[in-house]
Amino acid sequence: MSKTAQRIGDIDPRITLRLVTTDDGDIIISIKDERGVITRELEPGALEECAAEVEFTDSGGMSHKTLMALHALFAAMEVDNKEYPQHPR
């Protein structure tokens, strides 16, 4: 069963960091605003909306230490959510 942990950014309350752990130990990271996307400026005056998402895998992945660090981040976010619950502003 997959699990999710997310935290609202400290500086911009519209942006959320979300981690999902899959049944097989992979982690999917996404960064989204309240609409489910983020807007980035490619160049002055040229805006693009996108969903920023990346997955790190345990089986066959080449970023084992990164994956372990993300699992530690997931655990830290769970603790933060218990100790300092957040509510969308």
Could you report the per-residue pLDDT of 33-77, keeping only the tens digit for each? 877 776 766 677 777 777 678 899 988 889 999 999 999 999 999
Q: What is the pTM of this model?
A: 0.79
Please choose, from the candidates 35, 41, 33, 39, the residue with its C-alpha nearest in 3D space to the C-alpha of residue 17.
33
The range of the structural domain enclosing residue 53 comes to 3-83
DSSP state of 44: T
Structural domains counted in the chain: 1
| 29, part of any domain | yes
User: What is the C-alpha separation between 7 and 50, in angstroms, rounded?
Assistant: 19
Asked if residue 33 is part of any domain, the answer here is yes
Asked if the structure places residue 88 within a domain, the reply is: no
